[in-house]
A and B are shown apart, each in its own frame.
Chain A
Amino acid sequence: MKKQGILHELYTNRILFLMLLPTLLYFFINNYLPMIGIYYGFVQFDFNTSLFNMEFVGFKNFEFLWKSGKLMELTLNTVGYNLAFIVLGNVLSITVAVLLSEVKGRWFKKISQSILFLPYFVSFVILSVIVFNLFNYEQGVLNTVLQQLGFEPVDVYSKPKLWIFFIIIFYLWKNFGYSMVIYLASITGISEDYYEAAKIDGANSFQRAWHITVPMLKNTFVILLLFALGSIMKGQFDLFYQMVGNNGLLYSTTDILDTYVYRSLRVTFDMGMATAAGVYQSLFGFTLIIVVNAVIRKINKEYALF
């Protein structure tokens, strides 16, 4: 075949490219054009002039990120929590999805599916109220029950280690129903033929689930994983902010980049510093997704996103 120029390619498939144009435009306007704003991270913000006339200050705006010596802790917390969310979330939702798909009772299946899905719609603000009413020292449910049973009350809000579990538990409670439904949908798509063949070969239902359903979910899993990794530096701002709020006692284990940046810039609203923090987050997330994708590509080309 003769090698053709890009113009020729554009010409031969012009209708197809024309159809692609709106999408390209959409992404260009909404996702690429705003990137000009990254430049705010490198200038001294000034009300009197336009972006490109502001004084260039290099990495000065990034300084506050490491000035408090917390950057490492924050990055670790952010990544750690997200890994826990991704791993535990997926294991839990795959397990439950597989179990639910094996359930024969239609009503039971529908009802438990809805019950698991519902917390997804609870707002984080409401979650924070629920949590506060559970754990608050003087009138919380937990301490009332403990005292009724004759135990000493526990001040949950001054024990940072405990919150690692609480945050993960509440995240799972709220979110796993959603990915479970996605898995359940993919399970429905698996052809019955496999199961029938396995049955004839004498596989029991556990073997069928382990050797057919789980491998068939790999594709969905990888896609969800890559999406999740892309936003690994973004944290779950609402969850952390609402549950921990102003309580500095808990920051050592619950502070993530988002909450840190939010608190820093709530008082000092400086466009430069806010942008710097955003750039740091995005670059880290970008690197991560490239690396993970490369690894997946190496293992199995078909599963890679790009």
Chain B
Amino acid sequence: MTGTKKKAISLMLTAVMSLSLFTACSGGGNGGSGNSGNNGGSGTPANTPAAADAANEQAGIDTSKKVELQFYMLGNAPKDLPKIQEQINKMALEDLNATVKFNYTTWTDWDQKYKLLLSTGQAVDLIFTADWTQYQQYAKKGAFLALDDLLPKAAPELQAFVPQEMWDAVRIDGSIYTVPATYKEYVTGGFVWREDLREKYDLPVPVDIPTFEAYLEGIKQHEPKLQPLAIGAAVDAALQDSYLDIKRRAVGPMQYGVFASYDEPGEPVSYWGSPEHLEDLKTYKSWADKGYFSKNELNETESSQDKLVNGTAAAMLNDNPVRYNQTSSRMKSLHPDWELGYTPYGLTNGYATPVHPIHNGFAIPKSSRNAERALAFYEKLVTDKRYNLLTQYGALGVNYTVEDGYYKMLGDANSNGFPREGMNGWAWRNPEFMLFEPSYEGVQKIFDELDKIQKPDIYTGFAEDYTEYQAERAALEQVEKQYLFPLMAGQVADVEAGLKTFMDKARQAGLDKVQEAYKKQWLAYLTEKGIQ
């Protein structure tokens, strides 16, 4: 009977579809957990049957058993990574009787993946660390292995290669948890603007806030279609931290509205709710009202650099010299007649802090089963020219050549499977082997200028321990997003009332307790390091 058949089919269809609806619901619930980014170089490493006894006996470590090291880096893997990995593994198998698998997290939700890698107990042997991946907090909480005893045994050469003061600078509670990068650079902020437009309309060179405002005003008048200033959704970092840096000489991007200046780090004050805070928020509001940035900056998804390159914005805050240089060359390749200008805040402030050793490093997580071999391999990566060049620039003759001492990419950015520093190997850069593009001269010039006024970075070595106030911290985070972000984006009509609401809510969430504990830890840190 066709009736029953039809009915049966329809029932089945209904059942299957509702079931998939159900599973889809339950699966989609937890936003992007799992997936701990196993999407790096595909393909198994070359398991050549090299005999174990062929392996060189490394100084003091046992290499009798063949192991595979899990190496984790942030960002996207270059296309040619499997080939590079194969070549590295050939050498590593011979030198250390080990192979390595290079894993990349991609930039999507990297912070989630990073946290999962460390807290789920997954076997990871080497992982990137930086101040912006919360190295200090993780080290303090015991996520990494202390390297003090391991270094002389597994990587004596590396231990000698990295200067002692750098080892000391990365110490957290007295122990070394990461291998710092030794290349000296500046990742401090600066104004970025369109030099060609500035010249065309005879506007002042932005060196501080008043000149920057004059520039923005000029752009607004002469180029009404162009957004004068690009900020993006992260108004806290891209606007406020940067503004505090240049306007109030902040020691660093401190948390929870605590502020200390570089000149007087020992006197942290509460910035949130203060007259200075109100004044700054009013400035942001006036910028928004004058149309210097979009009313919908909080929902912006395009990066400020892209907006500069595309010609939809005319300035941005807070880029470092290297990134400015990248933006500039990207812009020139599309619009050869445009020019980008740059003023490092350091020149105005009178001091610049070279990158802190914590800014780039590699650590061995607690979950590693081959700590010794991992460290020995990392030593090779940094100090062995073959390993280093291969992982920084790709294969010579395939991905790059050297011309007059300069790095030259073969093909273009799209066809080349391994661009310069394609593995994001910032942490294992070795200044002795480094190759630069000719355009890097500009960056080097800025660095040389900053070298003349360099002062040490006080802030980055600070490791906050938020265990005692983590509930308040999480609650505060929410209040900040809901009430302070709109204020910073200039979207609250009555700034004074808005600030008051924010402060009330923040106090309710436990601001005072958090600030007090934070200040105490900060002062203790300063005393420990002998600053003040």
- Decide if A265 is an interface residue (CB 8 Å cutoff): yes
A241 touches B31 (CB 8 A): yes
Shortest beta-carbon distance from A50 to chain B in Å? 8
| Pick from A63, A238, A248: contact of B481, CB under 8 Å | A248
- Which chain B positions have C-beta within 8 A of A247? 298-299, 485-486
- Which chain B positions have C-beta within 8 A of A135? 296
Report which residue of B11, B29, B466, B509 has the largest number of chain A beta carbons within 10 angstroms of its beta carbon: B29
B118 touches A263 (CB 8 A): no
B115 touches A157 (CB 8 A): no
B474 touches A227 (CB 8 A): no
Report if A67-B475 is in contact (Cβ < 8 Å); known contacts: A185-B17, A231-B26, A245-B298: yes
B294 touches A263 (CB 8 A): no
Report if A47-B14 is in contact (Cβ < 8 Å); known contacts: A237-B28, A249-B298, A264-B477: no
Report which residue of A67, A128, A227 has the largest number of chain B beta carbons within 10 angstroms of its beta carbon: A67
Contact stretch, chosen from A20-28, A165-173, A205-213, A269-277: A269-277
- Which chain B positions have C-beta within 8 A of A237? 28-31
Closest chain B residue, CB of each to CB of A249: B486
Which A residues from 58 to 88 make CB contacts under 8 A with B? 60-61, 63-64, 67-70
Report if A70-B478 is in contact (Cβ < 8 Å); known contacts: A47-B141, A246-B485: yes
A227 touches B31 (CB 8 A): no
B142 touches A46 (CB 8 A): yes
- Decide if A104 is an interface residue (CB 8 Å cutoff): no
- Which chain A positions have C-beta within 8 A of B7? 189, 191
- Decide if B283 is an interface residue (CB 8 Å cutoff): no
In the bound complex, how far is the Cα of B21 from the Cα of A263, in angstroms?
A: 27
Contact stretch, chosen from A11-19, A174-182, A290-298: A174-182
User: Using an 8 Å CB-CB cutoff, how does the interface string of A235-263 with B read, 1 for contact, 0 for none?
Assistant: 11110010001111101100100101011
A68 touches B481 (CB 8 A): no
A227 touches B14 (CB 8 A): no
Which B residues from 447 to 503 make CB contacts under 8 A with A? 466-467, 470-479, 481-486, 491-492
- Decide if B322 is an interface residue (CB 8 Å cutoff): no
- Which chain A positions have C-beta within 8 A of B467? 44
Report if A268-B18 is in contact (Cβ < 8 Å); known contacts: A246-B233, A249-B486: no
User: Using an 8 Å CB-CB cutoff, how does the interface string of A133-168 with B read, 1 for contact, 0 for none?
Assistant: 001111000000000000000010110000000000
- Decide if A48 is an interface residue (CB 8 Å cutoff): yes
Number of interface residues of A (CB under 8 A): 69
Shortest beta-carbon distance from B467 to chain A in Å? 7
Closest chain A residue, CB of each to CB of B141: A47
- Which chain A positions have C-beta within 8 A of B473? 268
In the bound complex, how far is the Cα of B13 from the Cα of A189, in angstroms?
A: 10
A263 touches B26 (CB 8 A): no
Shortest beta-carbon distance from A264 to chain B in Å? 4
Per DSSP, are chain A's interface residues mostly helix, strand or loop, or mixed? helix
- Which chain A positions have C-beta within 8 A of B509? 67-69
| Pick from B25, B492, B510: contact of A67, CB under 8 Å | B510
In the bound complex, how far is the Cα of B296 from the Cα of A174, in angstroms?
A: 24
- Decide if B301 is an interface residue (CB 8 Å cutoff): yes
User: Using an 8 Å CB-CB cutoff, how does the interface string of A185-209 with B read, 1 for contact, 0 for none?
Assistant: 1101101110000000000000000
| Pick from A70, A182, A191, A273: contact of B21, CB under 8 Å | A182
B25 touches A234 (CB 8 A): yes
Number of interface residues of B (CB under 8 A): 60
Kindly count the residue-residue contacts between A and B in the assembled complex, taking CB atoms under 8 Å apart: 180
B299 touches A263 (CB 8 A): no
A263 touches B17 (CB 8 A): no
B483 touches A186 (CB 8 A): no
User: Using an 8 Å CB-CB cutoff, how does the interface string of B305-341 with A read, 1 for contact, 0 for none?
Assistant: 0000000000000000000000000000000000000
| Pick from A128, A178, A234, A267: contact of B477, CB under 8 Å | A267
- Decide if A42 is an interface residue (CB 8 Å cutoff): no
- Which chain B positions have C-beta within 8 A of A61? 471
| Pick from B6, B28, B296: contact of A188, CB under 8 Å | B6
A273 touches B470 (CB 8 A): yes
- Which chain B positions have C-beta within 8 A of A48? 142, 366
| Pick from A231, A252, A263, A270: contact of B478, CB under 8 Å | A263
A158 touches B18 (CB 8 A): no
- Which chain A positions have C-beta within 8 A of B483? 248
A47 touches B471 (CB 8 A): no
| Pick from B17, B119, B142, B486: contact of A248, CB under 8 Å | B486
Shortest beta-carbon distance from A216 to chain B in Å? 11
- Which chain B positions have C-beta within 8 A of A235? 29
Closest chain A residue, CB of each to CB of B298: A247
A238 touches B21 (CB 8 A): no
- Decide if A29 is an interface residue (CB 8 Å cutoff): no
In the bound complex, how far is the Cα of B296 from the Cα of A271, in angstroms?
A: 34
- Decide if B105 is an interface residue (CB 8 Å cutoff): no
A269 touches B119 (CB 8 A): yes
Report if A224-B10 is in contact (Cβ < 8 Å); known contacts: A158-B491, A248-B486, A278-B30: no
Report if A69-B477 is in contact (Cβ < 8 Å); known contacts: A191-B7, A249-B298: no
| Pick from B9, B10, B466, B485: contact of A268, CB under 8 Å | B466
User: Using an 8 Å CB-CB cutoff, how does the interface string of B1-37 with A read, 1 for contact, 0 for none?
Assistant: 0010011011101100110011001101111000000
Closest chain B residue, CB of each to CB of A226: B22
Q: Which 10 A-B pairs have the closest CB atoms?
A: A189-B10, A67-B475, A269-B115, A68-B475, A63-B471, A137-B295, A64-B474, A234-B29, A64-B471, A264-B474
5 A–B contact pairs at CB < 8 A?
A132-B299, A234-B25, A245-B299, A247-B486, A260-B478
Given contacts A230-B25, A268-B466, A273-B471, 20 further A-B contacts (CB under 8 A): A64-B471, A64-B472, A69-B505, A157-B298, A182-B18, A189-B9, A231-B26, A237-B30, A245-B301, A246-B234, A246-B298, A246-B299, A247-B485, A248-B481, A251-B481, A258-B30, A264-B478, A267-B477, A268-B477, A269-B115
